[in-house]
Structure 1
Amino acid sequence: MLGRRVHVTGPAQLKLRAELKKVYTAGPSSAPPHGGERLYGFVYRLLTEAGTTLRRRGGSGLDRRRTLTAARPEPKPAGSHPRS
């Protein structure tokens, strides 16, 4: 890929779009699809221009709901407040 401070236009931008889309659609990775060489907004724009379907942020919603449910304390029965 091209360096970070290189202005990308024309055929070079089309090639970069294709490379980014290939890496992004290959599956989730802990490394960013741009290898840390490009700003998030620039990569996001290239991916959307390439027609890439973007994943949701923050991992699986199912895992998040499970974690929130497990961390939530049990509700106390009505009338059990010490001041009532």
Structure 2
Amino acid sequence: MAPEVPPRSSGVPGGPPVESARTDPNRQVRGDERRELTEYVSVEYEKGQSIRDIASTIGRSYGFVHRLLAEADVDFRTRGGARKSPRK
């Protein structure tokens, strides 16, 4: 089950939420919407989701998600899985 993407506000008080970034992956994300998306991405990454999984969930590229995480000063995990035996 994929995590739910948080709704983004339209910037107009009482206005409808903006459609998710999935509708137009080339649209620039700025201001409050970018801060909300950065927070969402950071929380999901800290929960253990991979960057690729988060990117596919929100309909954006790996590079975009990585950039958001870097802007949030997230400590990146090392590449690959756990080793089964100690390194020789």
What's the TM-score, normalizing by structure 2? 0.60
Gaps of 5+ in 1: 70-84
Larger of the two Rg values belongs to structure? 1
**Residue aligned with 1:32, SS:** helix
Distance 1:13 1:25, change over 3 A: same
Aligned length: 65
CA shift at 1:37, angstroms?
1.2
TM superposition outliers: structure 1 runs of 4+ over 3 Å? none
Gaps of 5+ in 2: 6-20
Instruction: Establish whether residue 33 from structure 1 lines up as the match of residue 54 from structure 2.
Output: yes
Q: CA RMSD of the aligned region, Å?
A: 2.4
Which residue identity does 2:34 align to in structure 1?
Answer: Q
The CA distance in 2 between the partners of 1:56 and 1:28, in whole Å, is 13
Identity of aligned residues (%): 31
